């Protein structure tokens, strides 16, 4: 695990390589990958290919279970949940790009349960930026960083499919 | 010196679309007329998400949990009221259906008094059908900022959720609006569905919208809506991608606008022979309830080009989208 406190030198590709190794150690024979839209979905897609997993990965959206719906409203996105397998009884490895308050993770867990009762859910993330507001911890994170509360970081994927981080001030 | 009175407030205030807040977000759905393309597309895209809720183990999402939706139907409806009810329940709202025939309205209570009383019962959303054009606008002007209004059909004026589910259906089967010919057939002049569809279709960039029917029901001055007026099925249906049949209301026959239902069917009823004039992959739509043998032949209504039942299914997702979007936006 590569810990770094500098946001400027965050190499998304190097962290992805670490994540890939971390995920490999957590795989069970029946594990399926589910990526949180959008960054996590890209990660799950690439992990699925690089690890040669036979079951296609799923994509999950937090949109319908968000707890800030009253403030943010419903945005029109194409981030619909797509789970091309039975959720019931599966071991699910939930993949996200950045873990912060944990509220998105809470929302996607609710979303997941709308499709059935998984045997287990394990969370892996590329970057854990701390600041949790819920009792949610990842089983693996490729990096832990500290960021000011107003900073926003998310994963971006370029035309060649390579990852980089996007930083902006809220 | 002449004392010039200030202009009335309504003239001084910049007029804003009453459906949108200052940020251009949808807070009520009253009409497709003047509704920007971005808002129309937001509803269609959101509906796509909601359609998949039907495939889940749990067919419910919590967006309207703890909210009360009042179905306020001053005019009869089965399909629209039921699909609104299902849509609201799938969003986890509490749904209250008012039996207006037995309510205070029949005892002489005014519309706004009814609304004030229901608001005092903590209503968060009103779904309104009324025989008077404009009734939902009046309600929208008088509710508290957190309360939302959806027009479920007002007089001859508008039926925006029907138009939106029609747009969803067209996009589902035809993908792109900008290369289509859409024919709307029947009693155009009395139809709120036709009016709302015309506004939505032209906003979404459909290059040719035709309205088809006898002169009594399709007057020539409809051209100002940006449509082509056709008085024969041959002209109206030829090479169309989408044929929307409207229900012929019995009261039109009594008003002397049509000789008989049989006469109408002969000229404008959709049969397989007439449908053959349209493109081979044309879809046939109808807002329901259908009158078999009056505006549409059973062979067409049940045929492979008919998408009348998918329309009903899409209607639930579209109404979920409308309610979900407006509930999340503040006035």
For the entire predicted model, the pTM comes to 0.87
Q: What is the ipTM of this complex?
A: 0.76
Q: What is the pLDDT of residues B283-330, one digit of tens each?
A: 999 999 999 999 999 999 999 999 999 999 999 999 999 999 999 998
Residues of A in contact with B328 (CB under 8 A): 69-70, 72-74
Q: What is the pLDDT of residues B162-183, one digit of tens each?
A: 999 999 999 999 999 999 999 9
Cis peptide before B56 (omega within 30 of 0): no
Search chain B and give the residue with CA nearest A71. B328
The alpha carbon of A92 is separated from its chain's Cα centroid by a whole number of angstroms, namely: 12
Q: What is the pLDDT of residues B205-224, one digit of tens each?
A: 999 999 999 999 998 889 99
CB of B186 within 8 A of CB of B246?
Answer: yes
Residues of B in contact with A76 (CB under 8 A): 41-43, 45-46, 325
Q: What is the pLDDT of residues B240-295, one digit of tens each?
A: 999 999 998 776 666 777 778 888 899 999 999 999 999 999 999 999 999 999 99
Cα–Cα separations (whole angstroms), residue B181 to A116, B32, B184, B202, B203: 44, 19, 10, 11, 14
Question: What is the C-alpha to C-alpha distance for residues A105 and A99, in angstroms, rounded to an integer?
Answer: 8
CB of B308 within 8 A of CB of B301?
Answer: yes
Determine contact: B62 vs chain A, CB below 8 A: yes
Whole-number pLDDT of residue B224: 92
Q: What is the pLDDT of residues B44-79, one digit of tens each?
A: 999 998 998 888 889 999 999 999 999 999 988 888
Nearest to A63 among B42, B43, B49 (CB): B49
Tokens (6 digits) for B243: 């044929």
Q: What is the DSSP letter of B327?
A: H
Q: What is the pLDDT of residues B104-129, one digit of tens each?
A: 667 788 889 989 999 999 999 999 99
Residues of A in contact with B324 (CB under 8 A): 74
Question: What is the C-alpha to C-alpha distance for residues B271 and B318, in angstroms, rounded to an integer?
Answer: 29
Contact B63 A80 (CB under 8 A): no
Nearest to A73 among B48, B58, B329 (CB): B329
Chain B, 175-214: which have a CB under 8 Å from a chain A CB? none
Whole-number pLDDT of residue A76: 60
Among residues B29, B331, B68, B329, the alpha carbon closest in space to that of B165 is found at B29
Interface with chain A: mutation pick from B49, B50, B125, B317, highest number of A CBs within 10 Å: B49
Contact B48 A81 (CB under 8 A): no
Question: What is the C-alpha to C-alpha distance for residues B213 and A85, in angstroms, rounded to an integer?
Answer: 50
Q: What is the pLDDT of residues A49-92, one digit of tens each?
A: 999 999 999 999 998 998 888 777 777 666 789 999 999 999 99
Whole-number pLDDT of residue B234: 96
Tokens (6 digits) for B324: 């979900």
Mean pLDDT of chain B: 91
Nearest to A65 among B61, B324, B329 (CB): B61
Judge whether residue A47 has pLDDT over 60: yes
CB of A12 within 8 A of CB of A43?
Answer: no
* SS3 category, B276: coil
Contact A74 B41 (CB under 8 A): no
Kindly indicate the confidence band of residue B10, based on its pLDDT and cuts at 50, 70 and 90: low
């Amino acid at each position: 695990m590569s810990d770094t406190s500098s946001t400027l030198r965050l190499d998304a590709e190097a962290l992805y390589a670490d994540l890939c190794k971390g995920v490999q150690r957590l795989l069970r024979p029946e594990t399926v990958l589910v990526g949180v839209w959008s960054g996590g979905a890209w990660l799950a897609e690439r992990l699925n290919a690089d690890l040669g997993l036979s079951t296609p990965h799923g994509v999950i959206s937090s949109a319908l279970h968000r707890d800030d719906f009253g403030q943010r409203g419903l945005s029109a996105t194409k981030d619909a949940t797509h789970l091309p397998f039975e959720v019931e009884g599966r071991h699910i490895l939930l993949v996200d790009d950045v873990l912060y308050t944990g509220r998105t993770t809470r929302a996607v867990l609710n979303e997941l349960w709308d499709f059935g009762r998984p045997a287990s859910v394990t969370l892996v993330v590329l970057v854990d930026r701390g600041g949790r507001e819920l009792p949610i911890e990842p089983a693996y994170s490729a990096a832990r960083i500290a960021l000011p509360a107003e900073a926003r970081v998310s994963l971006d994927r370029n035309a060649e499919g390579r990852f980089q981080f996007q930083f902006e001030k809220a | 010196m002449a004392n010039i009175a200030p202009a009335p407030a309504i003239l001084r205030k910049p007029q804003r679309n009453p459906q949108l807040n200052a940020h251009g977000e949808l807070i009520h759905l009253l009409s497709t007329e003047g509704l920007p393309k971005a808002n129309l597309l937001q509803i269609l895209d959101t509906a796509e998400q909601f359609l998949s809720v039907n495939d889940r183990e749990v067919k419910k999402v919590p967006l309207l949990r703890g909210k009360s939706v009042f179905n306020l139907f001053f005019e009869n409806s089965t399909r629209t009221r039921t699909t609104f009810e299902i849509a609201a329940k799938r969003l986890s709202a509490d749904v209250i259906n008012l039996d207006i025939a037995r309510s205070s309205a029949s005892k002489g209570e005014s519309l706004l008094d009814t609304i004030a009383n229901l608001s005092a019962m903590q209503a968060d959303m009103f779904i309104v059908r009324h025989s008077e054009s404009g009734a939902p606008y009046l309600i929208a002007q008088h509710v508290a900022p957190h309360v939302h209004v959806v027009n479920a059909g007002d007089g001859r004026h508008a039926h925006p959720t029907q138009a939106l589910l029609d747009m969803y259906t067209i996009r589902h089967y035809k993908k792109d609006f900008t290369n289509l010919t859409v024919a709307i057939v029947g009693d155009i002049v009395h139809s709120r569905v036709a009016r709302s569809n015309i506004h939505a279709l032209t906003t979404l960039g459909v290059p040719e919208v035709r309205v088809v029917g006898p002169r009594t029901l399709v007057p020539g001055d409809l051209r100002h809506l940006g449509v082509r007026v056709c008085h024969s099925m041959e002209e109206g249906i030829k090479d169309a991608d989408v044929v929307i049949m409207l229900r012929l209301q019995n009261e039109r026959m009594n008003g002397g606008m049509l000789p008989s239902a049989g006469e109408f069917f002969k000229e404008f009823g959709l049969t397989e022979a007439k449908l053959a004039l349209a493109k081979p992959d044309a879809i046939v739509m109808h807002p329901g309830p259908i009158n078999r043998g009056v505006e549409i032949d059973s062979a067409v209504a049940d045929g492979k080009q008919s998408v009348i039942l998918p329309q009903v299914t899409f209607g639930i997702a579209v109404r979920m989208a409308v309610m979900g979007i407006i509930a999340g936006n503040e006035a």
